[in-house]
Amino acid sequence: MSRTRPVVGIIGNSHLINDQYSVHAGGTMNSQAVSEVAGALPLLIPADPRYVSVGELLEVCDGILLTGGRPNVHPCEYGEEPTPAHGDFDRGRDAISLPLVRACIERGQPFLGVCRGFQEVNVAMGGTLHPEIRDLPGRMNHRMPPDGTLEEKFALRHPVRFVVGGVFHRLLGAEEVMTNTLHGQGIKSPGKRIVIEGHAPDGTPEAIHVKDAPGFALAVQWHPEWNAANDPVSRPLFTAFGEAVRGWAAGKA
């Protein structure tokens, strides 16, 4: 029996439940956005090279969603020493996601980066990160509010302005949109071929694409998976991603 939907691999994060039981997990809203808006089959990836390889993922998946997550990319991946400000790490995810990004770019295989995934795309291409945006002069606190309901934590908090005529301006049909913000780190220097097309009012990079990538290669610093079916910014982003994934799957078939 042939499957009717293309497969989007969703990068999972490592967690300990009750400080004992190790799991790979992904937010339900990621699966919901992939299934209901992108129109693809969501498949959670245990991002650890002990269990999966980049080559296998490229064959099984038609597209990749690089999700957000509490652990950060280890700074050794961009030539810096870790400090307390860099927070926690997930070296298994680093070992899968960074080469997976580069392989997808080379093959033209679609991917969408979100929050940590946005930072992974930059690091994979040789860029660097600030460990804590809110400590920089003139920057706002982009971190998730510590208190409140989930709706309050994912509420729209600041505008993002795009380069006129760029990929995001054309895709979303607006020069400026409102987004949520739930991140501590951000781009310090862009990697090779990384084009920054969107900024928050304080100058923080918020939207990037990979120059001359043969396929869908976009990433955003906010969380478009929240309320993706109804949000006027999230819906066209996941819809376009889904179209790219179906195109890739059709090419394989």
User: DSSP character for 99?
Assistant: H
Report the C-alpha gap between 174 and 166 in whole angstroms.
10
Residue 17 burial class via C-beta count within 10 angstroms: exposed 0-12, middle 13-18, buried 19 and up:
exposed
Residue 232, classified by CB atoms within 10 Å of its CB into exposed (0-12), middle (13-18) or buried (19+), is: exposed
Q: Are strands 7-11 and 13-17 parallel, antiparallel or unpaired?
A: unpaired
Tell me if residue 115 is catalytic.
Answer: yes
| Selection from 143, 175, 147 nearest residue 159 by Cα | 175
Please answer whether residues 127 and 194 qualify as being in contact, where contact means their C-beta atoms are separated by less than 8 angstroms: yes
Q: Which two structure tokens, joined as six digits, stand for 138?
A: 């003139």
The values of phi and psi at residue 176, to 5°, are -145, 135
Catalytic (active site) residue 77: no
Selected catalytic residue, list 24, 130, 183, 223: 223
DSSP code per residue over 229-253? TT-TTHHHHHHHHHHHHHHHHHHH-
20 CB-contact burial (10 Å; exposed 0-12 / middle 13-18 / buried 19+): exposed
Catalytic hit among 77, 120, 197, 225: 225
Q: Which of 104, 115, 120, 209 is catalytic?
A: 115
Q: Decide if 225 is catalytic.
A: yes
Catalytic residues: 115, 223, 225
